[in-house]
Amino acid sequence: MPGGRRGPSRQQLSRSALPSLQTLVGGSLGNSNGLRNSSNCVGLSAPPLSALITPEPVRHSRIPDLPLDSSLLFEFLLFLYLLVALFVQYMNIYRTVWWYPYSHPAASTSLNFHLMDYHLAIFITVMLARRLVWTIVSEASQTSPGSLVRYVVLIAARLSLLTLCGWVLCWTLVNLFKNNSVLNLLFLGYPFGVYVPLCCFHQEGRSQPVPSDCGYSDQDMSDGPFFRPKDFLALLKENLREQFSSPGHIPHHTCPQPPSPELIRSEVEELKSDFNRRIKEVLFNSLFSAYYVAFLPLCFVKSTQYYDMRWSCEHLIMVWINAFVMLMSQLLPPSYCDLLHRSAAHLGRWQKLEHGSYSNAPQHVWSENTIWPQGVLVRHSRSLYKAVGPYNVALPSDVSHARFYFLFHKPLRILNLLIWIESSVVLYQLYSLLRSERWNHTLSLGLILFCNYYVLFKLLRDRIVLGKAYAYPVSASTGSNTTSNGLGLKSQ
């Protein structure tokens, strides 16, 4: 009541009695930052000193070097799988009822070969082999010639291979132009027409400076949303080069002593850009493969030809999923996922709280030069955030930092997702195989399942090994040592 005797007041911590946040957390704060006293916070009670502790050093688990297919072997296996899928799609479209009795002869062969367009099949094969051909040329270019004769032979072989592919492609295009309508011909280059506006013009971080190798300048960007022709060609050349070759540069992870929040955030930005580039390559190549394998043959089917539309569309989805999983397992190997996990462990995450919550807890002003411990409350951009990770140097209002921590703070999340996708596909195909009544369904499912078993085996092998490696307790001596593996990753 007003004027009445108040109860015993809560014990308040004065500014002189409370240690600075720099001493407790290990960061550097300005004079305006730090722990708020009772005059700046509403209803703050004296927190125990154990609530603000110095974060322990992040200790990383060491994983073994798992075998990974070389670029040439992977491109060959992917090309072989796509050829099998292409044969299966042609079998689904042009199958016949050749088992009918001779009194009612429907066909003399199992497939209607006279209805197939061989120029289209050759064109699709060349388009599917583009990555394999480029990988062969790249591998041959990296080998050091021992003599002048060997160097001349390598140059002649590369030129002959590229010339042969270009000649076959032009020959098939000329014949397709003669025998098909303009509408059908537009489907031949549709993926490239979609790729240019979606991927070439999409640049991460428009506010960031544009790389100098793309030929852009501030004056060019200020002219308007349109690019000059030379800039467009340079950007298109750079993006197309990414589709023919696997990414070679892998960022490094370092555990600086003492830890540097700015260095951790810059490393996360580099890894985020590299991961987005790899995902863009996986999505485009998987959709590209499914389009040319399963969709393009349907566009050139004659109107009088009957085929099972549902089964053909189902085959299209299966090819896209399998190609997606194969590319993901190759471009995101376990060592690369471990690199992302280590950076996420240093980055941390902030949980946004509602206004009015934790009103009696001490709150601090967020500082970019401070490593915040778990459970601390900070104010940033008129919002209240709570530290979630053991280390927290992320920008509280940056959603990309929160997504990065969510995806990679558990090192097996991506691998578990791939295993779940591939296992679901295999189980569904086994169920379809048991219920199949047509010979082309049984044969197509058997061929595709044989390819899926190999991919699922590699994923399960990596999951078993990595599960035991991450479950092994990390000792303090292990955390103080630093080792490197073949990808330049460092274990702290």
pLDDT digits over 116-155, tens only?
Answer: 889 999 999 999 998 898 888 888 777 766 677 777 777 8
Specify the pTM: 0.75
- Evaluate whether residue 313 is within a structural domain: yes
- Evaluate whether residue 243 is within a structural domain: no
Phi, psi dihedrals of residue 463, rounded to the nearest 5°: -70, -40
β-pairing verdict for 377-380 and 363-365: parallel
Question: CA-CA distance, 155 to 166, in Å (whole number)?
Answer: 17
- Evaluate whether residue 447 is within a structural domain: yes
| pLDDT score, position 145 | 65
| pLDDT score, position 354 | 80
- Evaluate whether residue 247 is within a structural domain: no
Q: Quick check: 438 and 99 in contact, CB under 8 A?
A: no
Q: Which two tokens stand for residue 414?
A: 């991506």
- Evaluate whether residue 320 is within a structural domain: yes
| pLDDT score, position 480 | 40
Q: Let me know if 7 is exposed, middle or buried by CB neighbors in 10 A (0-12, 13-18, 19+).
A: exposed
Write out residues in the chain with pLDDT < 70, as ranges: 1-57, 97-108, 144-146, 194-259, 356, 359, 474-492
Give whole-number Cα distances, 121 to 129, 304, 443, in Å: 12, 20, 20
- Evaluate whether residue 221 is within a structural domain: no
Domain residues for the domain of 463 are: 66-116+281-349+398-474
Q: Quick check: 46 and 13 in contact, CB under 8 A?
A: yes
| Residues 6+ positions from 374 with CB-CB distance below 8 Å | 55, 387, 388, 389, 390, 392
Q: Which two tokens stand for residue 277?
A: 């580039």
Q: Quick check: 246 and 330 in contact, CB under 8 A?
A: yes
Question: CA-CA distance, 110 to 440, in Å (whole number)?
Answer: 10
- Evaluate whether residue 37 is within a structural domain: no
Distance from the first to the final alpha carbon of the chain: 60
- Evaluate whether residue 93 is within a structural domain: yes
Q: Could you tell me how far CA 72 lies from the centroid of its own chain?
A: 20
| pLDDT score, position 319 | 94
Domain count, the chain: 1
| pLDDT score, position 189 | 80
